[in-house]
Amino acid sequence: MILLALSAKRTVSAFTAPSHRLLLPKWTQLYSYLGTTATSFDDGKRPFQITTPIYYVNDKPHIGHAYTSIACDVIARFMRLSGREVFFLSGTDEHGQKVEQTAKSKGMEPQEFVDSVSINFRDLLELLNISNDAFIRTTEDHHKRAVLALFDKMVENGYIYLDNYEGWYSVRDECFYTESELIDGKAPTGAEVEWVAKEESYFFKLSAFQDKLLEFYEQNPGFIAPESRRNEVVSFVKRGLKDLSVSRTSFKWGIPMKQDPNHIFYVWVDALTNYISALGYPETGGKYKTFWPAALHIVGKDILRFHAIYWPAFLMAADLPLPKRLFAHGWWTKDGQKISKSLGNVIDPVDLVKKYGVDQTRFFLMAEVSFGNDGDFSDKAMITKVNTNLANELGNLCQRTLSMVFKNCDKAVPTSVGPFTEADNALLASARELREKAAAEISVQAIHKYVELMVRIVWETNKYIDEMEPWSLKKTDPERMATVLYVIMEVLRHVGILYQPLIPEAANKILDALSVPKDERTFSHLDDAFRIKEGSVIPKPEGVFPRMEMPVEELVNQQS
């Protein structure tokens, strides 16, 4: 991902800043500012911007796009329910040589092609019940203005010069690689590479930021997560950074430079700017003032270097504050195999939703793997996990509790509630502690641990109901039966409210079944003042999670 500058640098009259100036005259003040804004990831109070990467439109969405979007959505919903002001951004990356080539192969103009593909990503977000506040496309005029403004600032500060490059280039990755990075003649990602002959290009002085980046990483150890990814980035930067080509002339599908229209911006200058162009940059009021620096960029591990090295350097070069945190998640395999078109095992998230349901898909992808690690998808694993945790444990708990209430308590929340026992108070205490524990896990993007907390409280409640046996108490102690049922309903109220970020549709069905008012479902309502109201009429219980059966083809595969 490093570009080789092969000829002597020369300044260009179109750029007024001298190319030899490597340090910003106000760097000390800027760096001090950056240190104060990015030392801690999140203060728990300020407005919260969270972003997916913008998805490249060369093909239709796959499981990786769904995974990133759901993770961001869980965090965004959690923050909103916590009372935070949130700006959740997603979108599509629509320029580049790969798009130009694909459009040509289909007999389409590039704009026509990206229009037809971008809508698939927007539709996927809607299908998955993703609550993004904005969807940006890099072909939009306001984004182009932001790219030009950012570049102008880098020029003004002396970080751009004209030169020539040549080297190995991967069209699929939209990235250059050095000879030492190639593995068996291919990019580290497995993509084919081609030798690009000497071509004029504008370069960004990335090498000037090596020490500044290392210093920033050291002062802000939480900037890159998980720690293993941070170590990779630090190690990469320590090996040395070379200047980066930021323009191309060999193809035309991109944003033209106003100083030199024969050049278009290299994809990463264009793409990364979306995080601020969506906030109105270069205007620095409004959304930009409210939300920048962003609280959290979530990306796949394959594009971490671009976000952890190029993006901070661009921002430093333009006198702009850096985002608070980058989190890189892992990749998915299918039945233990790498996912690829050639193997025919690509997982279409639309098909997953059709087969299993939206909330079931969201739950499995967040629950199955530690967020940050790689994960493996199989129909068997999904069906087993969803049936166990959702249908058998949560769904069955709701159904049997509410059926008993409906049948034995005049179709309403019990009114003859007696004093709570030690066991009652212990379970209620677990429910009351859930918000704080979940918030701690979400604050460090440990989404899988948040899911584990939710699964555990349901398991504890099932254990409680089995020990209390309210069906037996119906005959021996009706008041105690009513108390037990009330305790379970109150715990389920906490569960329903706290499950909304993960399984929003099902969680709200549970809250509807408990007759929790729609305006009492935020985390501020997880207080005894808003506990289940005795005597509230409840609807006839209906199942929330139907059990899933193994697809016929999966059963055949297992038997063969």
Q: How many helices (H) and strands (E) does the chain have?
A: 22, 16
Q: Which long-range contacts (CB under 8 A, 24 or more apart) does 276-280 make?
A: 276/146, 276/150, 276/320, 277/136, 277/142, 277/143, 277/145, 277/146, 277/147, 278/89, 278/91, 278/134, 278/136, 278/143, 279/49, 279/87, 280/142
Confirm or reject CATH 1.10.10.60 for domain 379-530, answering yes or no. Answer: no
Q: Where are the beta strands (DSSP E) in 221-380?
A: 224-225, 244-245, 247-248, 264-265, 296-300, 326-329, 332-334, 337-338, 375-377
Q: Which of 294, 277, 272 is nearest to 86 (CA)?
A: 294
d(CA 301, CA 231): 13
Tokens of 504: 């929003």
Cα distance between the two ends of the chain: 45
Q: Annotate 9-58 with three-state secondary structure.
A: CECCCCCCCCCCCCCCCCHHHHHHHHHHHHCCCCCCCCCEEEECCCEECC
What was the pLDDT predicted at 553? Answer: 56
The per-residue pLDDT for 173 is 67
pLDDT attached to residue 557? 53
Q: What CA–CA distance (Å, rounded) separates 94 from 60?
A: 13
Rg (C-alpha) for the chain, rounded Å, is: 27
Domain boundaries, the chain: 46-166+201-334, 379-530
- Helix, strand or coil for residue 294? coil
User: Are the CB atoms for 318 and 269 separated by under 8 Å?
Assistant: no
What's the CA gap between 176 and 186, in Å, rounded? Answer: 11
CA dist 130 and 151 (Å) reads 32
Top-tier CATH class for 46-166+201-334: alpha beta
Q: What is the pLDDT of residues 491-515, one digit of tens each?
A: 999 999 999 999 999 999 999 999 9
Residue 119: per-residue pLDDT: 97
- pTM reported for the whole predicted model: 0.89
Q: Are strands 375-377 and 332-334 parallel, antiparallel or unpaired?
A: parallel
Cβ-based neighbours of 507, under 8 Å, separated by 6 or more: 496, 497, 499, 500
Residues 541 and 514: their CA atoms lie apart, in Å, by 9
pLDDT of residue 527: 94
What is the C-alpha separation between 196 and 165, in angstroms, rounded?
Answer: 8
The tens digit of pLDDT for each residue in 370-417 reads 999 999 999 999 999 999 999 999 999 999 999 999 999 999 999 989
The amino acid occupying position 336 is G
CA separation, residue 95 to residues 121, 175, 307 (Å): 16, 13, 18
Buried b (16+ CB within 10 A) or exposed e, 12-29: eeebebebeeeebeeeee
Q: CB–CB of 245/270 below 8 Å?
A: no
Element (H, E) at 202: strand 194-204
* Blockwise average pLDDT, block size 10, the chain, 560 residues: 33 32 30 33 88 92 95 98 98 94 95 96 98 98 98 97 81 70 78 79 96 97 96 96 92 93 92 98 96 97 95 98 97 84 83 96 96 93 96 97 96 94 98 97 97 98 97 95 98 98 98 97 96 95 89 51
Q: Which of 251, 257, 255, 234 is nearest to 154 (CA)?
A: 257
Task: Indicate the length of the chain as a whole number.
Answer: 560
Asked if 287 and 70 count as a contact pair (C-beta separation under 8 A), the reply is no
Kindly state the tokens that stand for 68: 């990133």
> What's 540's DSSP letter?
P
> In 3D, which of 209, 170, 215 has the Cα closest to residue 190?
170
